[in-house]
Each structure stands twice: as structure tokens, then as C-alpha cells.
Amino acid sequence: MQETNMNDIDNVRTDIDRYKNIKISRLNPEDWLSLKAQLISLEKRCFHPDIQETERSKRKLLTLEDTIAFVAEKNGKVLGESYGLPIQKYKGIPDSDRITKDYASRGIKAFYHVSLAVLPEYREHGIGSALIGALFAEAKRQGYDVILAHAKEGASLELHNRRGAKVIKSFDNWFGTGNKYWLCEVYIH
């Protein structure tokens, strides 16, 4: 994994220094095999069963060439993840074809933020903020104009709002999970 210098990340608010030895690193496709057990466990602990990625779908998402993924880890233990991919490559959202066409017709390069997750016992210490900061900075560096996400009400929506999210639509019962999610759009240029 390629470690990111936190000074290179734009606008990251984090008190991560309080948690010694936590690193935010870029996850590359070849890291999947060594980290898959931890990444699947993270998925199970952080997401409602009805929206969890399977091992197969998660491997596919994390090993695509143009996926951007970061993990937070401490001494080899994965504490959190944030990843996404070009919007035209992600079909798992309502209206994905229409949304993709809409951005394409306006010449907007759009990135879809698939996942932001931190193990429950490590939350509320700035790790989620550092992960979203790393992801957005790299998407910006790669020339994306906008990041789209379905953010769960609460901490996830808050972290997107802090980056200037515009809320487009709400979903009262996201995929039958009973949770409220918001479709939001963050322009990064």
C-alpha cells in the first residue's frame, strides 16, 4: 500500500494524531488478497445486511483499474475504508443510467463515492473525516468535477455537508434498511 502524507490532503479536519500509528493509505488492486478478510469483516460490521457488498462484488469494485480507495489502518489492522469509481461504472444506485447520461451530456466528469466506513469502536475521532478528505483530494487530482454519494443521515451526511454537499433527493427507507439516505453532490473544482 502507498501511504499518504496527511499534509498532502486538502482541508482535512482530524484529531487523528491522538491515535498514534493510524495511517491513511491508498489501497491498490493487488492489496485485495492480503486484506480481503478484514475488508469483508468491516463491511459486515458497518452496513445493514440488505446493502452489504458480497465478497465477489467488493473484490470487483476494489480491483477495477480506475477505482480510488483508501484505508485507515493501525499496525496492520484495518479500521476504515473509503472508495469510489467513475459514475458510469457503478450500477448499484437508483436511476444510475439517467444520472450518468445527465453528467455526460453536460461534459461533467463525475465520481461516485461508494463507501465510507469506520469500525464502530474507532468512530468519532476524525478517521472518517481523514478518509473522505483523502478520497476527495485524489479524485480532484485525477480531474473529476463532482462527487456524488448516497449519504446516510447522521455522521456520513455531516461529513459530506462539511465538504459543501448539495442535497438533491432523500430516500426515507434506503433499500428497505429503514434508514434515511440523501443523494448529495459535491463540486470539487
Ligand X SMILES: CC(C)(COP(=O)(O)OP(=O)(O)OC[C@H]1O[C@@H](n2cnc3c(N)ncnc32)[C@H](O)[C@@H]1OP(=O)(O)O)[C@@H](O)C(=O)NCCC(=O)NCCS
Q: Which chain residues interact with ligand X by CB under 6 A?
A: 46-47, 115-118, 123-129, 151-152, 154-156, 158-159
User: Least separation, in Å, of the C-beta of 181 and ligand X?
Assistant: 7
User: Least separation, in Å, of the C-beta of 41 and ligand X?
Assistant: 13
Name which of 23 and 123 has its Cβ closer to ligand X.
Answer: 123
User: Least separation, in Å, of the C-beta of 106 and ligand X?
Assistant: 25
Strand boundaries in 58-177, DSSP class E: 68-74, 77-86, 110-118, 146-152, 166-171
Phi-psi domain of 50 (left: phi exceeds 0; alpha: psi -120 through 50; beta: other): alpha
Name which of 16 and 35 has its Cβ closer to ligand X.
Answer: 16
User: Least separation, in Å, of the C-beta of 166 and ligand X?
Assistant: 17
Ranked by CB distance to ligand X, the top (closest) residue is 128
Name which of 143 and 173 has its Cβ closer to ligand X.
Answer: 173
Nearest to 179 by CA among 158, 154, 162, 148: 154
Name which of 152 and 163 has its Cβ closer to ligand X.
Answer: 152
Q: How far does CA 69 lie from the centroid of its chain?
A: 7
Nearest to 127 by CA among 180, 74, 166: 74
